[in-house]
A and B are shown apart, each in its own frame.
Chain A
Amino acid sequence: MDIRDDSLQKIARRHWYNFVDPVTKLLLALFLTMLSFDFTPLYFEISLVLFSLTLLLLSRLSKATVNAVSFCLFLIVTMVVIQGLFYSHNVHPLFSVMTITFYREGFLYAATMSARILIIIFAIGFFMGTTTVSENAKYLESIGMPYKLVYLLMSVCYILPQIQQNLSKIQFVERARGINPQKTVMQKVRSILPILIPLIIKTFDQSINRSITLQLRGFDRPERTLATPKYPYFKAKFSHYLLSIVILLLIGCKLWQIISRFL
């Protein structure tokens, strides 16, 4: 029995998205973002939104993505309103409510930017929903990233949920103790110090201990056994090269668009 592999995952069927490696997924997100910057017709933007949404729906729609969309929704609405009313190139009225006129140009401008934001959210959501922290860590190490960096990136992913837990505990205790409602901003800021300082000292102490432990446990030694990727991926290297080249071309293209405006 292989004790170090999650046996549940072995039984579970491999999905199509498990054949795509994490780096390709990230490059894909970057590629879609660059496309939306290079080609701005609204129909094209909408089809990109639909494409990335399809990717997401065919894999896993995580709660985080839904949260991200709802988080941005308010901003998108205000953006449409502000640009529809005040965009500097506004000429053609789109519609009027009472005496307020919305303009076509501003509306289109805001719609393009909103589409871009949705594309980024969906493409990143696809990456996040279909990979796990340990899969990413193993893959990055296997393609030659120094273990120190892999550790750094991944430990952040692990520390956030822990901190979240600590925080809700503290907030619970604080609520039970009953803090007086504070009036001014300064009073509010001062009221968090008695909680914040011990928490910060504890957090830094844990990092000191962890750094000692890691050194004692032979972290980052040259003879470390390289991790093997969790899944065999389909044409990983080829996809990296292809996507990187296309992304570079798109960036070059965008830069040329900007420069040629000044020529």
Chain B
Amino acid sequence: MKENGIDTKASRFNMWKLHLSVATVTLIPAAVGINYVAKAFAEGLKLPLWLGSLGTYLASMLAGPTAGAISGFINNIIYGLTLSPVSTVYSITSIAIGIVVGVLFNRGWFSNVKRVFVSAILIALTSAIISTPLNVIFWGGQTGIPWGDALFATMIGNHINIWIASFTDEFVLDIMDKVVVAYLAFFIYRQLPQRMINYFKDNQ
């Protein structure tokens, strides 16, 4: 029992390690690439979701919250520089998603179907809380997804506070997106070969 205690302490320390290993350095670009692919699939299939955080989830699960946070951050920076400059500011949201996924995963909240659902809701809440002020500052509260914005327009048309309207707009979209991505990540992680999981774990 005592040994177990030491082990968890050590792994918790590792979890927050800021030193970047070479394995993490090469994992992060892959994660950003997967974000991009997932997003492209969502657009290609005309899904009402983004899916653009799948790689960030996987990076957090494989190499811890720091790796996930950096993946999310760099994802939005590069995406912002090359495709849509304003999405750069949402890098803050992506950092938070990376951290929350990593912590939840390390505490076993990605271990079965029921727990994944709880995790997804926590992640969606985090994302919506951080995105809402950004939406208000840059887009007057909109999210850019037509039917979410229609909801937003109806709410402020009925004189509901802009913060509540914007949060609702964002959260409704986030909850669907984050639940689907969480289950995708949960399912995909279980399909990864053990040697791969070990490699990233050993080389943190």
Contacts and interface: CB of A to CB of B under 8 A. Distances in A.
| A contacts B directly (C-beta below 8 A) | yes
Interface of A: 64, 67-68, 71-72, 75, 78-79, 82-83, 85-88, 109-110, 113, 116-117, 120-121, 124-125, 127-128, 148-149, 151-153, 155-160, 162-164, 167, 171, 182, 185, 188-189, 191-193, 195-197, 199-201, 203-208, 210-211, 214-215, 219-220
Interface range on chain B (Cβ under 8 Å from partner): 35 or more
B135 to A, nearest CB: 11
Contacts, number: 167
Interface in B50-91: 58, 62, 70, 74-75, 78, 80-86, 88
A121 B88 CA distance: 11
Given A128-B82, A189-B180, A196-B38, A207 B139 contact: no
- Say whether chain A's binding surface is mostly helix, strand, loop, or mixed: helix
B117 interface: no
B78 A160 contact: yes
Contacts of B84: 68, 71-72
B142 A196 contact: no
Nearest to B48: A185
B41 A196 contact: yes
Nearest to A171: B44
B22 A214 contact: yes
A167 B40 contact: yes
Nearest to A125: B85
Given A67-B83, A85-B153, A214-B25, 9 more contacts: A75-B144, A117-B86, A125-B85, A148-B22, A160-B82, A193-B188, A200-B58, A203-B30, A205-B196
B30 A206 contact: yes
B33 A203 contact: yes
B138 A113 contact: yes
A212 B75 CA distance: 23
Contacts of B86: 72, 117, 120-121
A120 B85 CA distance: 7
Contacts of A197: 188, 191
Max chain B C-beta neighbours (<10 A), residue from A128, A195, A200: A200
B41 A124 contact: no
Contacts of A215: 22
A82 B159 contact: no
B55 to A, nearest CB: 8
B188 A88 contact: no
Given A88-B159, A204-B196, A211-B23, A64 B34 contact: no
Contacts of A153: 74, 78
Contact of A68 (B20, B29, B85): B85
Contacts of A121: 85-86
B16 interface: no
B203 interface: yes
B100 interface: no
A100 B106 CA distance: 54
Contacts of B193: 201
A83 B184 contact: no
Given A113-B139, A148-B25, A71 B83 contact: yes
Given A152-B29, A200-B188, A219-B22, A110 B140 contact: yes
Nearest to B32: A156
A191 B37 CA distance: 15
B186 to A, nearest CB: 12
Nearest to A80: B140
B74 A152 contact: yes
Contacts of B156: 82, 86-88
A31 B147 CA distance: 35
